[in-house]
Amino acid sequence: MSNGELTRRTFLTSVGVTGGAGALFATMGALGHAPVRVATPDFQAPQRADFHLTGRSTRRIVILGGGIAGLTAAYELGKAGYDCTVLEARDVSGGRNLTIRGGRVEKDLDGHTQRADFSSGTYLNAGPARIAQWMVTLDYCRELGVPIQPFVNANADTLIYQQAAGAPVRFRTAKADLYGYVSELLAKATDQGALDTVLTAEDKARLLSFLEDFGDIGPEHDYAGSPRRGFASYPGAGEDRGSPLPGPPSLSDVFASEVGRYLSFEFGYDQAMMMFQPVGGMDRIAAALTARVGRQRVRLGAQVLKVTGGPSDVTVTYRQGGREQTITADFCIATLPPHLMARIPHNLGTNITAALAAFFPFAAGKIGLEYRSRWWENDERIYGGSTQTDLDIGQIWYPSHDFHAPRGLLVGYYHFADAAEAYGALPPPERTARAITQGVKIHGPKYRTELASAFSMAWHRTPHLEAAWNYAPWDDPAAFRLLLQPAGRVYFAGDWLSQAVAWQHGAFLSARAVVTALHQRVLKS
């Protein structure tokens, strides 16, 4: 950028200069302030009264896939009395909304079989694990009576581990150092007049006042550490002011360490705290939906073989208990992962197959490590949250619940793409061994010696799912749009057809959109 562009015009509106504080603040309200109420997407659940009033009758619906999208479609349509049947290929409903407890068996596509040995009360949310405040998922928790508790998605006392550094640093320390040096640099540049062409004297005074506080740099504008970094031992009784941590490192060292790359995660609109999880496991949502739909309507172990759309109905062929069966309904809602749906024979047109196949399946892996003690709480004072690394484990999560219990479960890796493929290709015991070797680098030998059991998911190698999630083909928006419309009497739904891919929020809203469209069509027919 050229020097000339850096003018006052770039930074200042005339309001602040000419209108005085009153006008300025009035403008603030108009320009930038959030309405306190968050608009949630309009949705009117179908009701029985919709039919009573019109004299029309409900319809039979066959739903392919008993994940969140499929269950939600059945649940919402069920409110108006639609006769829904859900075909789910796996032995449990919920799809990727999967909580692993002791006794759970998973066999992957490579023939690796695992049985969870977790003790009672211990569980791994193998798929979705966190819910942001604005997500419709929370509305479903409230409506379904699923109690929630905080999910710790950011914690000043978790760690950043970079291989080159060889020792972890706590987030609070990295943050204090980065904010300190950024403030020092900008304050000194301001002091020296480097911003005089773009800032008024008032702007400068306000900026410096902010930086002194934000970076804890003092009136001299030198960052020389801060209690915000944390302590080797914290202030205590009498005159014990605690022991500071060594440091801070020099500005150059702090930026060279690249710890700064981990700080923006917690600013994300979908990741910023507070976040939440159901008490007792994410599958409480799937279980509650399934119960409301009615277990008898959710056929487990039912694998879809063929979809045949006709002018007035849809026939689905599926295999359950080794027997091929068909079901005919007025409409079908297909919520299978698109790359799997693309493989199922149908008569909906080759453009549909091509559009489904255009999505990008994505690999992710997660491992649950049950420990005999909660050493991360008792010894390291880490109560929830995640440690971020540049190791192939990606991150380590500490549990957000049952604090101070005798045992607990860490997520020993949550990783994607190449790392997920590399671990997923290993037999599960080797995945565990590799994860433990990495974790020992951060937490020391207890990471190995305190281990009780492990269970890992390689989503891309999990039958009937074969991906952690699917990204839309952004180079081919027509494919995405095509699937937002019904193919005859077949509708498509899932997080993959939303702007919240890999979030239950997307699956819920996509299902709602299809429910609304289908119901309106029925009421008009």
Q: Tell which positions 73-112 bind a copy of itself, by CB under 8 A.
A: none
Q: Which one, 49 or 475, has the nearer CB to a copy of itself?
A: 475
Residue whose CB is less far from a copy of itself, 49 or 239: 239
Query: Could you give the C-alpha distances from 56 to 84, 313, 517, in angstroms and in order?
Result: 17, 17, 16
Nearer CB in complex with a copy of itself: 214/362: 214
**Which residue from 83, 102, 109, 272 is in contact with a copy of itself, where contact means CB under 8 A?**
272
* Interacting positions 312-331 with a copy of itself (CB under 8 A): none
The first and second tokens of residue 286, run together, are 């799937």
166 forms part of the interface with a copy of itself (CB under 8 A):
yes
With beta carbons less than 8 A apart as the criterion, state whether 45 and 312 touch. no
- Asked if 49 is part of the footprint of a copy of itself (rule: CB under 8 A), the reply reads no
Residue 167 lies near a copy of itself (rule: CB under 8 A): yes
For a copy of itself, which residue of 45, 426, 484, 523 counts as binding (CB under 8 A)?
484
CB of 364 to a copy of itself, least distance (A): 21
488-514 in b/e burial notation, b at 16+ Cβ within 10 A? bbbbbbbbbbbebbbbbbbbbbbbbbb
d(CA 263, CA 286): 33
CA separation (Å) from 490 to 49, 290, 330, 389?
25, 22, 9, 44
Quick note: the x/- pattern for a copy of itself over 11-40, rule CB under 8 A, is: xxx-xxx---xx-xxxxxxxxxxxxxxxxx
* Least distance in angstroms from the C-beta of 386 to a copy of itself: 12
Whole-angstrom distance, CA of residue 337 vs CA of residue 316? 17
Backbone angles phi, psi at 522, to 5 degrees: -65, -40
Tokens 């255009």 belong to: 358
Q: Establish if 149 lies at the interface with a copy of itself (CB under 8 A).
A: yes
Reduced 3-state DSSP string for 193-210: CCCCCCCCHHHHHHHHHH
Instruction: From residue 191, give the alpha-carbon distance in Å to each of 4, 196, 220, 459, 481.
Output: 21, 9, 10, 54, 54
127 is in an annotated binding site: yes
To the nearest 10°, the Cα dihedral for 290, 291, 292, 293? 50
In the bound state with a copy of itself, the residue whose beta carbon lies nearer, of 110 and 143, is 143
Using the CB atoms, write b or e for 266-294: b if 16+ within 10 Å.
eeeeeeebebbbbebbbbbbbbbbbebbe
Pick one of 58, 97, 114, 173: the residue that binds a copy of itself (CB under 8 A).
Answer: 173
**Binding string, 400-439, against a copy of itself, x = CB under 8 A?**
x--xx-----------------------------------
- Residue keyed to tokens 């208990």: 321
CB of 381 to a copy of itself, least distance (A): 5
Is 88 flagged in the annotation as binding? yes
3-state DSSP assignment of residue 124: strand
The single residue among 44, 54, 115, 191 that binds a copy of itself, judged by CB under 8 A, is: 191
To which residue do tokens 């009421």 refer?
523
CB of 345 to a copy of itself, least distance (A): 27
Q: Which of residues 371-400 bind a copy of itself (CB under 8 A)?
A: 378-385, 400
State in angstroms the smallest separation of the CB of 187 from a copy of itself. 9
When the beta carbons of 416 and 480 are compared against a copy of itself, the nearer one is: 480
**Closest CB 44 distance from a copy of itself, rounded Å:** 15
Q: Candidates 118-126, 127-135, 281-289, 421-429 — which segment interacts with a copy of itself by CB under 8 A?
A: 127-135
Residues between 461 and 480 that touch a copy of itself (CB under 8 A): 480
Closer residue to a copy of itself, CB minimum distance, 289 or 457:
289
> Which range of residues in 51-59, 79-87, 260-268, 389-397 is near a copy of itself by CB under 8 A?
260-268
User: Token pair of 18, please?
Assistant: 């000419």
Q: Among the residues of 444-472, which ranges form H helices?
A: 446-449
Annotated binding-site residues for FAD read 88-89, 127-130, 304
Bind-site residues for substrate: 130, 413
